[in-house]
Structure formats: C-alpha cells, structure tokens
Chain A
Amino acid sequence: MEHSKQTQYSSNEKKDTGDGGSVLNGHFDGMVKRPAGGTVRASAPQPLGAECGSHRSAASVMESWREERTRSVEDNEMSLPSLAAAYTTILRGLGEDPQRQGLLKTPWRAATAMQFFTKGYQEKIIDVLNDAIFDEDHDEMVIVKDIDMFSMCEHHLVPIFGRVHIGYLPNKRVLGLSKLARIVEIYSRRLQVQERLTKQIAVAITEALQPTGVGVVIEATHMCMVMRGVQKMNSKTVTSTMLGVFREDPKTRDEFLTLIRS
C-alpha cells in the first residue's frame, strides 16, 4: 500500500522518489502530535541529502523536508498539450463548440491556469525557507493573520478560498514573516482537503523552527458547497491545528484565538 502510493509521478520516470517513507503530496501516514518527536514509521529514515542542511540530526528527520517535488517547470511544458487536449474534450462533452471565437484558446488558458493552481507541487519548503531562519532571543507569540489563501478542492476540482492565521512561540529561532505566507502558498496551491492543508502548514513550521508551539487556523469558503451541491452561499469551514504548547496550555491557545479575532 505504501509503495504503490509512491507512483505519484506522471510519465517522467527519471525523478527520484526519495526515501522509503510514504510522503504523499505532503500527506503522511501517522499524525505528528508533538513538534520535535519522530514520526512512527515502518522503514528507517534515510540519511539526509546535503540539501537539507548539516545542522539537522538524523533523529529529527522530518517528512516535509524530505518531500520531493513531483513536478518541474519542464514537466509543465511537456504536459501542456495533453492537458489542453483534455480540456478540449471537456468543452465538447459539455456541448460547447471549441471552435467559437471565445473558446479557441481556452484549452491552453485553462491548462495553464490549472498548472498555476497546482504550482505547489513544483516547490519545496526548503527552497523557500533556507536562509530566513534567524536566531533571536524572543519567546513571545508571533502571529501573522489574514493571509489570503486559494486552493483547489481535490474532490470536485473547484476553488476554495479563505484566510489563514498562523501563530507560533519561538524557541530561540524566528522565521522571516513572509515565509509563513510562502509556506501557506506552497501547500495551498495543490489539490487539497482543508483539514490536511491546516496540518501540513503547522507541521512545516514546526519542523523548520522547532518552536515551543504552533497554531494554524483556516477559515475558508468552498465553492463546491456554494456553487453546486447544497448551495449554501454564506457557509464557511473553519479548521485548526494546535501543536506543542498551543495544544497543551489553554491560556496560550486562548490568547492566540483572541488575537486573531481582533
């Protein structure tokens, strides 16, 4: 089961699938409940490549740092014709005329748009974060809130959009603030489920900084519920992940939740 999940790449066989652990679109088996604990894994962790940085010990090898990109810019160019062909089929299937003026280049535009909406597959956390972790003697809460987030529902391929609020308690290391937003971008620009997205963001920050605690709250509107199906215009879905002291200490959590509401 684990190994079959590794065949997540398209025809491009040359990519290395990485280690034996199943990192599936950043979604891994077993929940990480504590920041610096190891994950429960059947296979032993592989030794880190040089790219992960020599300051990490093998014992604290974490999943999101070992994620491989499942796509590259070259892959995008190569897939474009078949994606466009697929979209032409879709247009025809819906009863439209792909030859009419407004739709002539739509397959290409839609294909490029879809590649943009899933560009998170082309990016790795390590690329985005590597040089923006600083030693700072600060141990009070840091919050970045109202980060606009756009994702795609993996069940209906229809947009999800909303806001992300992130808070963390640094433990001698702080992160460049825009990097929190960049982590949100990497994980949200994928085919997602809101619960998984929230957890991935929290885990990535935990692994990058080993802070005392991390809290992530996402409030989003799902077009699959608004435009179709039950058609509830004003509904919102709220998910949260609290790790470390945010989970254990109710006062810290309260402070975080109050500050993001204000």
Chain B
Amino acid sequence: MENHHASEMDGVVAEYLNMCIESKHNDLCKKEKDSKDSADADRLCNIEKAYSTVLSELGEDVDREGLLRTPLRAAKAMQFLTKGYKETTQDILNDAIFDENHDEMVIVKDIDLFSLCEHHLVPFFGKAHIAYLPNKKVVGLSKLARIVEIYSRRLQVQERLTKQIASAISEALEPAGVAVVIEAVHMCMVMRGVQKMNASTVTSVMLGSFHDDPKTRKEFLALTMRK
C-alpha cells in the first residue's frame, strides 16, 4: 500500500515539477550550478522547487515580497538542519584523543541540542548530558558536543539519537562506561497534535559500568539532573 503511494507520488512529483514556475527557478538554479558541485546544486534545486510547490499548495501567494526567496532559504535551512549526514565521527575525533591516567567520571552536561523529528519534519530541541569513565584515553571535551551535533543534525527519533551518541563514544574511546541522557521538547507535540506545551521527553542510554553498577549510575544522575 505504502509502495503504491510512493510510486504514485513519483509520478505526481514529475508532473508537478513540470507545472511549477520552471523558468524562474531554472534561472536561480543555474547560478548555483556555476559555483557548486553540480550534484549538490541539483539536489538544492529540487528541494527548492518542492518548497515552492508546498507554498502554493498551502494557499499562499508565492509572488509576494516576503516569500520570493523563501523556497531557496527554506531549502538551505533544511540542508543545514540535516548536515549531520555528511559528517562522521572519525573526521572530528581522530586527533583529539589523549592518553591520560584518569579513571574518574567525566561529565559534559547541558549541551544544547536541535534536531528534526523524522515523522513530521518539525524541530525538537533540548539538552544532552554525557558522561564517560575513561579507560586510559580521554577525549577533547568539545568533541563530545560535536558528536551530539553530528547525530542530532539529521532526521531523528530521540531514542535512536541517544543510542547513536552513546555508541559513537563507546567505539571511539573504549571507556569503562558511557551514559547519555537527553531531555527534549518536541514541537510536533507542542505545536500540533495533542498540543501539550510543557511536556518534555527524557531518554537515556547506559553502557558499561553505568549499566552494571547502580552506584555509578546514581552518581551520574545526581550530578547532572540537579536543578
């Protein structure tokens, strides 16, 4: 059923792209092609045309001043918000792992996090708290925040995001334990649907000694969840 919809959609996409304000967009897209990698430019162009369709289908006037460059801005914004797809942990971590004889808990908390709900394409945002117990190797502190950035700037589900961050740290450092807690507000619940303004979602992943030893976990939670 879903696949039928998908192939129908493909046909409709082709049709609508032809019906859109083609010439205007072709001019704009051409300029981009000259200066960028052409595959990237093609993709941007397609997203831009899709947003133009979205605007007109919502009943807006795409020629009014405020909306003239909105398809391009929205396309670029969306690309920024999903830039995590192009980044890997290897790129950012490789040179910031240090040998250090430290085996006490290291916590970086209140890392602001912004992601996109993969179900509604609407933002969710909050804070991430990360802790690890080093096993002879420590990592530059900002790299923990960068790992959060890589995985959060994607179409995500909060549970998966938490797990991906924990796994990435685990693989890179092989520590004695990793804990990640994310507390976020989902606009898809606040702005639409059930419309609960104050609800927030908390997910956590505990690996290694954080999982096995309740005292370690308790220490982490006491240090991070303190208001």
List chain A positions with a Cβ less than 8 A from chain B.
4-5, 7-10, 24-25, 70-71, 75, 79, 81-96, 98-99, 102-110, 113-118, 121, 148, 150, 154-159, 161, 191, 193, 223-224, 226-228, 233
- The answer to whether A110 and B155 have CB atoms under 8 Å apart is no
Chain B interface mostly: helix
- The answer to whether B82 and A10 have CB atoms under 8 Å apart is no
CB of B157 closer than 8 Å to a CB of A:
yes
- The answer to whether A94 and B122 have CB atoms under 8 Å apart is no
Segment at the interface with A among B30-38, B42-50, B87-95, B172-180: B42-50
- The answer to whether B66 and A155 have CB atoms under 8 Å apart is yes
Q: Could you tell me which residues of chain B, from 163 to 192, have a CB within 8 Å of some CB in chain A?
A: 187-188, 190-192
List chain B positions with a Cβ less than 8 A from chain A.
2-3, 5-6, 8-10, 12-13, 16-17, 43-44, 46-47, 49-51, 53-61, 63-64, 66-67, 69-70, 73-75, 77-82, 85-86, 112, 114, 118-123, 125, 155, 157, 187-188, 190-192, 197
| Cross-chain pairs A/B with CB under 8 angstroms, 21 sampled | A8-B59, A8-B64, A75-B59, A82-B53, A82-B57, A85-B16, A89-B47, A90-B47, A93-B47, A99-B3, A99-B6, A108-B5, A109-B119, A113-B121, A118-B58, A121-B58, A121-B59, A155-B70, A158-B74, A161-B187, A227-B81
Q: Which residue of A lies closest to B54 (CB)?
A: A86
| Alpha-carbon distance A109/B55, docked complex (angstroms) | 16
| Alpha-carbon distance A14/B207, docked complex (angstroms) | 61
| Alpha-carbon distance A157/B121, docked complex (angstroms) | 11
| Alpha-carbon distance A99/B2, docked complex (angstroms) | 9
- The answer to whether A113 and B16 have CB atoms under 8 Å apart is no
| Alpha-carbon distance A36/B40, docked complex (angstroms) | 54
User: A50 → chain B, closest Cβ, in Å?
Assistant: 25
- The answer to whether B77 and A156 have CB atoms under 8 Å apart is yes
Residues of A within 8 A of B66 (CB): 154-155, 191, 193
- The answer to whether B13 and A86 have CB atoms under 8 Å apart is yes
User: A252 → chain B, closest Cβ, in Å?
Assistant: 31
Residues of A within 8 A of B10 (CB): 85, 88
Contact of A117 among B6, B74, B85, B191 (CB under 8 A): B191
| Alpha-carbon distance A150/B85, docked complex (angstroms) | 29
A24-B64, A150-B191, A191-B60 known; A113 and B120 CB under 8 Å? yes
- The answer to whether B70 and A157 have CB atoms under 8 Å apart is yes
| Alpha-carbon distance A110/B157, docked complex (angstroms) | 15
- The answer to whether A71 and B58 have CB atoms under 8 Å apart is yes
Residues of B within 8 A of A228 (CB): 77, 80-81
- The answer to whether B50 and A113 have CB atoms under 8 Å apart is no
User: B221 → chain A, closest Cβ, in Å?
Assistant: 24
Residues of B within 8 A of A121 (CB): 58-60
Residues of A within 8 A of B54 (CB): 83, 86-87, 114, 157
| Alpha-carbon distance A90/B16, docked complex (angstroms) | 14
User: B188 → chain A, closest Cβ, in Å?
Assistant: 7
User: A154 → chain B, closest Cβ, in Å?
Assistant: 5
20 additional A-B pairs beyond A82-B16, A85-B12, A156-B70, beta carbons within 8 Å, are A8-B60, A70-B60, A82-B12, A85-B10, A86-B54, A88-B10, A94-B79, A96-B155, A106-B120, A109-B120, A110-B120, A113-B122, A117-B191, A118-B60, A154-B67, A156-B77, A157-B54, A159-B191, A191-B67, A226-B125
| Alpha-carbon distance A102/B154, docked complex (angstroms) | 13
A79-B57, A117-B191, A117-B192 known; A84 and B118 CB under 8 Å? no
A81-B9, A94-B47 known; A86 and B16 CB under 8 Å? yes
User: B43 → chain A, closest Cβ, in Å?
Assistant: 4
- The answer to whether B191 and A83 have CB atoms under 8 Å apart is no
| Alpha-carbon distance A70/B59, docked complex (angstroms) | 6
Contact of B157 among A102, A109, A224 (CB under 8 A): A102
- The answer to whether B155 and A159 have CB atoms under 8 Å apart is no
Q: Which residue of B lies closest to A80 (CB)?
A: B57
User: A13 → chain B, closest Cβ, in Å?
Assistant: 13
